[in-house]
Amino acid sequence: MAQIALTSSATPVSFKGGAKRGAKLSSNTSRLRVSRIGTNIWLSNKSGGSGSGSGSKGFGLVGSDRIYRGNRGVVKVSDGQAAPLSDSYFWAAANKANSEPSDRDPSTKMKGTSRFFTIGLVAAWYSSNIGVLLLNKYLLSNYGFKYPIFLTMCHMTACSLLSYVAIAWMKMVPMQTIRSRVQFFKIAALSLVFCVSVVFGNISLRFLPVSFNQAIGATTPFFTAVFAYIMTLKREAWLTYVTLIPVVTGVIIASGGEPSFHLFGFIICVAATAARALKSVLQGILLSSEGEKLNSMNLLLYMAPIAVVFLLPATLIMEENVVGITLALARDDHKIIWYLLFNSSLAYFVNLTNFLVTKHTSALTLQVLGNAKGAVAVVVSILIFRNPVSVTGMLGYSLTVMGVILYSEAKKRSK
């Protein structure tokens, strides 16, 4: 707690919590007006000198609409007025937790609702991310549906349709338009790189367990730093580059200790991770001007249909008769249709929940949640698929995750 000495001029007071704007406080010798500017409460002497009479008066405010008087109770502000205060000094509690806000206070209920809403969003984000990853693995490896390009095209088709519904019909975000042919070609370039990253990631799941796939995927910051330096000559602080050493070292250790290591799958997964980082850097370069920036929902709205255009000829050429084979599978097992529909819808909800979580949490919270998500996916996949793991592999993955956390912290401090 801190005593606030009244002076003849307005006095700034740091606080946690809030106060009634414009509430008037009365003492034996003066009247005060309370206002809030930023994170300060200003106490202004309205009687022209508080030092007269019995000397300076100390006043304190805390939380909501209550004024604490030491440990002897509160004086409640009502209709902009406070009860007369006769003590020589009052003390402000520096913590809102010490107050007991009324159950009828709508702001308290709103905060509680908002907290549960954010928790629900994070749970949906985790569920959709991990769900689509595990279902991709099941379809491409366990179920025997060996058509990753066609599967990715199904994802992009669902993203195209559901993005349009969310933006044009449901008005979840304002629709942003493409303003020039140059902007269109920039988005097309991003879409091509995006296709490569998703297709390669799905191909790698045919050959690698999810746990090892996630370990390699955690090296994205390394490739992002490399591409940023090559393409923009942007140099990070030396400490940032040092934190990338455990990121790469961890994957090397995990590779050596991976019982299910597959060289082709490893190369494809590294390529997918590099493509993901390249898209991130390219997006910062190509859509850097204010007139060309798109939020992630609108960017997906335009990228997904372009991706379908890229993927359709690729799947017809490289995965011959994939539509006929899928229909034949459906005649024998109707579940494949439901798997593809659910998986494709889930792929869209990954993007939707990522956008919403980004909107409703801080950047730091998003980083922490993102780092934890990979670890949760590894644990869940091992429990479901029972793939063998080694102590060396888990130590390597842990080292990589630790490096990613240190990298995030170093980036934050360098800004």
In tens, the pLDDT along 369-378 reads: 877 888 899 9
Higher pLDDT, 204 or 66: 204
Yes or no: say if 197 and 216 are a contact pair by the CB < 8 Å rule.
no
Which residue is it, tokens 């599967």? Answer: 151
Q: State residue 110's pLDDT score.
A: 54
Region 350-357 average pLDDT: 91
Region 124-139 average pLDDT: 95
Confidence of residue 364 (pLDDT cuts 50, 70, 90): low
Region 391-402 average pLDDT: 92
Q: State residue 40's pLDDT score.
A: 39
Yes or no: say if 398 and 375 are a contact pair by the CB < 8 Å rule.
no
Which of 208, 201, 202 is CA-nearest to residue 259?
208
Report whether pLDDT(134) > 50: yes
Report whether pLDDT(63) > 50: no
Higher pLDDT, 38 or 224: 224
What digits encode the pLDDT tens for the residues 12-54? 333 333 443 343 444 333 444 444 433 334 444 444 333 333 3
Which of 146, 186, 125 is CA-nearest to residue 321?
146
Structure tokens, 34: 């309370």
Q: State residue 233's pLDDT score.
A: 86
Confidence of residue 319 (pLDDT cuts 50, 70, 90): very high
Q: State residue 346's pLDDT score.
A: 96
Which residue is it, tokens 């191909």? Answer: 203
Which of 265, 225, 268 is CA-nearest to residue 248?
225
Yes or no: say if 178 and 184 are a contact pair by the CB < 8 Å rule.
yes
Backbone angles phi, psi at 9, to 5 degrees: -110, 170
Report whether pLDDT(62) > 70: no
Least confident of 48-62, 277-291, 302-316: 48-62
Residue 196, Cβ neighbours under 10 Å: how many? 19
Report whether pLDDT(102) > 60: no
Report whether pLDDT(8) > 70: no
Structure tokens, 113: 């609702």
Yes or no: say if 181 and 189 are a contact pair by the CB < 8 Å rule.
no
Q: State residue 165's pLDDT score.
A: 96
Yes or no: say if 130 and 375 are a contact pair by the CB < 8 Å rule.
no
Confidence of residue 358 (pLDDT cuts 50, 70, 90): confident
Q: State residue 315's pLDDT score.
A: 96
Q: How far, rounded to the nearest angstrom, does the alpha carbon of residue 93 sit from its chain's CA centroid?
A: 34
Q: State residue 411's pLDDT score.
A: 84
- Three-state SS for 46? coil
Least confident of 112-121, 147-156, 359-368: 359-368
Confidence of residue 291 (pLDDT cuts 50, 70, 90): confident
Q: State residue 169's pLDDT score.
A: 95
Q: What is the CA radius of gyration of the chain?
A: 29
Yes or no: say if 151 and 340 are a contact pair by the CB < 8 Å rule.
yes
Q: Which amino acid is at 311?
A: L
Region 207-212 average pLDDT: 93
Q: How far, in Å, CA of 163 to CA of 314, rounded?
A: 23
Which residue is it, tokens 């996630």? Answer: 214
Percent of the chain having pLDDT more than 70? 72
Region 267-278 average pLDDT: 96
Q: State residue 387's pLDDT score.
A: 87
Q: Which amino acid is at 245?
A: I
Confidence of residue 3 (pLDDT cuts 50, 70, 90): very low
Structure tokens, 130: 């991990």
Yes or no: say if 11 and 36 are a contact pair by the CB < 8 Å rule.
no
Structure tokens, 327: 């229909």
Rounded to the nearest integer, the mean pLDDT of the chain is 77
Q: How far, in Å, CA of 353 to CA of 365, rounded?
A: 15
Which of 319, 318, 323 is CA-nearest to residue 337?
323
Which of 384, 344, 357, 395 is CA-nearest to residue 160?
344
- Three-state SS for 212? helix
Structure tokens, 117: 């809403």
Q: State residue 395's pLDDT score.
A: 93
Residue 129, Cβ neighbours under 10 Å: how many? 20
Yes or no: say if 57 and 29 are a contact pair by the CB < 8 Å rule.
yes
- Cα separations (Å) of 155 from 132, 151, 342? 10, 6, 10
Burial of 386 (0-12, 13-18, 19+ CB in 10 A): exposed
Yes or no: say if 64 and 53 are a contact pair by the CB < 8 Å rule.
no
The residues with which 42 forms a beta bridge, in sequence order, are 12, 35
Higher pLDDT, 25 or 364: 364
